[in-house]
């Protein structure tokens, strides 16, 4: 039986990841009279919609939710759900559970490409599968022309329920941070010193920890809003324009194949860094910067076993094989600075990423994974191109990636490798051989493809409120909007930028009513 699609709403939001959800939340709070429609190509996995799959404790149910997120050609049902799988593999392409890779076009001859460029297709987007690290950008990562960036980040932290102290009682976490601080903090500004990683997790009264997904971003304000509708399995194929202004969307109901036009005063495209520019291109919105300044964060990883720490109180706990967050999963943050231009993430792991001897059961919290992320040397020529003659699995214009690591990128990766070895030596005894650098795209932090600018000078797609230059009523959202080459995990920043966009729509809607 076919579903009812509204014929007209105030705001259509394309995509239900954290950024689309942020628009729905802020509009529900600030423009409660507005009718809102979220259209999401993937299926709904959980109730309430947008929940994180790692909060599903039953392993089979979790695996089913992950497979359902993997786009038109999911992996086989017996693919493991353990997200540590493949962490230290040298496989040329690596799909994390709940994600799917570009099937083709990810590398052009003679270029580096983005072999690990991934997407998630489900209610909640990648936010149903992410790790929840929410550091603030600092120094050169910041968007200099946004005077209110800090306030927007604070609002982003509220929407994502970011907690700086969720793992304060993780065994050895203080010791890990002390060793990191002794080694790294001497010349750092106070707000860029080693710290617990701010994480989008909630500690419940009974001590249980859960990950924030879009469900948390939507919050009760959106769920209780009778004027917000979320329709899953609904592919937006086109943004409709009237006299140069966004006037609605064309959507294909994947349950029936029927197409519908929905009129709207505002359209927000929050369809990830690959598919947001794809949808604009398919709609004939093709500013020069569309798809350009594509960037990902080259990532180098290493693992150590903490030296001289003895045993933790929870030594009876063997954390291996668990997917829920456990108290020993401490995460520390080494903030980016202009002098140390890497974002460092130091995780006390639930399992070793490199094989240990069968009888070597690590004391919980003593195996530590280090991930150093680099900022890309931004190039206009790093870009997505679209090809209607070679459609993607949804029938949308096929994506062709042009992407090269420059000499500066290779130097930065070499410096990150040296830095990670030094830091590892300060913590303990390295496990395995040399640090390993993932292939491009593996950070899952693809940015820049619909970037924000202060003025319409041809190097950006949208202005400071994320409205596309010269297309009133059309907003873009997601990591693609971030204009700087940030090295830190981008979701908090993208959600903060979405807040500014949603506020501006809410303001215009109230003025016009
Ligand atoms: P998404 O979450 O990707 O959502 C976009 C949605 O749009 C998808 O649901 C998609 O199906 C939908 N869509 C696309 N095209 C269409 C269309 N045409 N019509 C309808 N719907 C469409 N980030 C961090 O900051 N910190 C972390 O610790 C972190 N860890 C991660 C770990 C993993 C394993 C993964 C997979 C990701 C991680 N990320 C992390 C990245 C983070 O999940 C993303 O930055 C975030 O989800 C981006 O939010 P978004 O709303 O912009 O896009």
What's the confidence (pLDDT) of residue 358? 66
On the CB side of 503, how many CA atoms lie within 13 Å of its CA? Answer: 13
Question: Lowest-pLDDT range, 39-48, 81-90, 127-136, 493-502?
Answer: 81-90
Name the residue at shortest CA distance from atom 26 of ligand 1. 133
Cβ(481) – ligand 1 distance below 6 Å: no
Give residue 450 CA to ligand 1 midpoint distance, Å: 15
The distance between the two most distant Cα atoms of the chain, rounded to a whole number of Å, is 70
How are beta strands 342-348 and 259-269 bridged, if at all?
A: unpaired
Cβ(100) – ligand 1 distance below 6 Å: no
- Which residue has tokens 């108290």? 327
Q: Which CATH superfamily is domain 8-72+97-512 in?
A: FAD/NAD(P)-binding domain (3.50.50.60)
Give residue 465 CA to ligand 1 midpoint distance, Å: 20
Q: What is the pLDDT of residues 45-89, one digit of tens each?
A: 989 999 999 999 999 999 999 999 999 876 555 555 544 444 444
Name the residue at shortest CA distance from atom 39 of ligand 1. 130
Residue 142 burial (10 A CB sphere; 0-12, 13-18, 19+): middle
Give residue 181 CA to ligand 1 midpoint distance, Å: 32
Q: What is the pLDDT of residues 222-261, one digit of tens each?
A: 999 999 999 999 999 999 999 999 999 999 999 999 999 9
Cβ(41) – ligand 1 distance below 6 Å: yes
Q: What is the pLDDT of residues 175-231, one digit of tens each?
A: 999 999 999 999 999 999 999 999 999 989 888 889 999 999 999 999 999 999 999
Q: Which residues contact 456 (CB under 8 A, 6 or more apart)?
A: 463, 469, 470
Name the residue at shortest CA distance from atom 51 of ligand 1. 17
The answer to whether the peptide bond before residue 411 is cis (omega within 30 degrees of 0) is: no
């Amino acid at each position: 039986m076919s579903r009812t699609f509204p014929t007209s709403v105030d705001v259509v939001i394309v995509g239900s990841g954290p950024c689309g959800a942020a628009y729905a939340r802020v509009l529900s709070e600030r423009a409660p009279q507005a009718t809102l429609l979220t259209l999401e190509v993937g299926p709904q996995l959980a109730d309430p919609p947008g929940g994180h799959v790692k909060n599903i404790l039953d392993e089979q149910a979790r695996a089913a939710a992950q497979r359902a997120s993997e786009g038109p050609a999911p992996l086989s049902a017996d693919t493991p759900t353990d997200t540590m799988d493949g962490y230290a593999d040298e496989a040329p392409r690596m799909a994390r559970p709940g994600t799917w890779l570009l099937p083709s076009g990810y590398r052009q001859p003679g270029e580096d490409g983005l072999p690990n460029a991934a997407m998630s297709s489900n209610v909640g987007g990648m936010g149903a599968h992410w790790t929840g690290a929410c550091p603030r950008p600092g120094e050169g990562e910041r968007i200099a022309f946004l005077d209110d960036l800090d306030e927007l980040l604070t609002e982003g932290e509220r929407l994502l329920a970011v907690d700086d102290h969720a793992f304060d009682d993780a065994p050895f976490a203080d010791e890990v941070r002390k060793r990191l601080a002794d080694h790294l903090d001497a010349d750092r500004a106070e707000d860029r010193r080693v710290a617990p990683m701010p994480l989008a997790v909630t500690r419940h009264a009974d001590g249980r920890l859960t990950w924030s997904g879009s469900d948390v971003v939507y919050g009760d304000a959106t769920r209780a809003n009778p004027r917000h509708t979320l329709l899953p399995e609904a592919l937006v194929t086109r943004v409709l324009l009237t006299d140069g202004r966004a006037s609605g969307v064309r959507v294909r109901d994947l349950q029936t194949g029927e197409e519908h036009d929905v009129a709207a005063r505002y359209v927000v495209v929050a369809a990830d860094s690959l598919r947001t520019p794809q949808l604009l291109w398919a709609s004939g919105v093709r500013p020069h910067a569309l798809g350009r300044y594509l960037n990902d964060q080259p990532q180098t990883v290493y693992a150590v076993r903490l030296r001289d720490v003895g045993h933790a109180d929870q030594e009876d706990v063997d954390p291996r094989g668990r997917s829920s967050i456990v108290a020993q999963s401490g995460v520390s943050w080494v903030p980016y600075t202009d002098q140390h231009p890497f974002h460092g993430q130091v995780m006390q792991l639930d399992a070793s990423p490199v094989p240990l001897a069968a009888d070597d059961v690590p004391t919980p919290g003593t195996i530590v994974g280090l991930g150093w992320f680099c900022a890309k040397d931004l190039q206009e020529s790093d870009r997505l191109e679209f090809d209607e003659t070679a459609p993607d699995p949804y029938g949308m214009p096929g994506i062709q990636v042009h992407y090269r690591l420059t000499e500066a990128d290779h130097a930065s990766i070499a410096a990150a490798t040296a830095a990670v070895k030094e830091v590892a030596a300060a913590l303990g005894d390295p496990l395995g051989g040399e640090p390993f650098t993932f292939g491009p795209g593996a950070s899952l932090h693809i940015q820049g493809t619909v970037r924000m600018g202060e003025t319409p000078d041809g190097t950006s797609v949208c202005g400071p409120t994320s409205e596309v230059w010269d297309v009133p009523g059309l907003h873009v959202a997601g990591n693609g909007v971030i204009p700087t080459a940030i090295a830190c995990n981008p979701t908090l920043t993208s959600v903060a930028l979405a807040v500014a966009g949603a506020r501006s729509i809410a303001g215009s809607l109230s003025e016009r009513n």
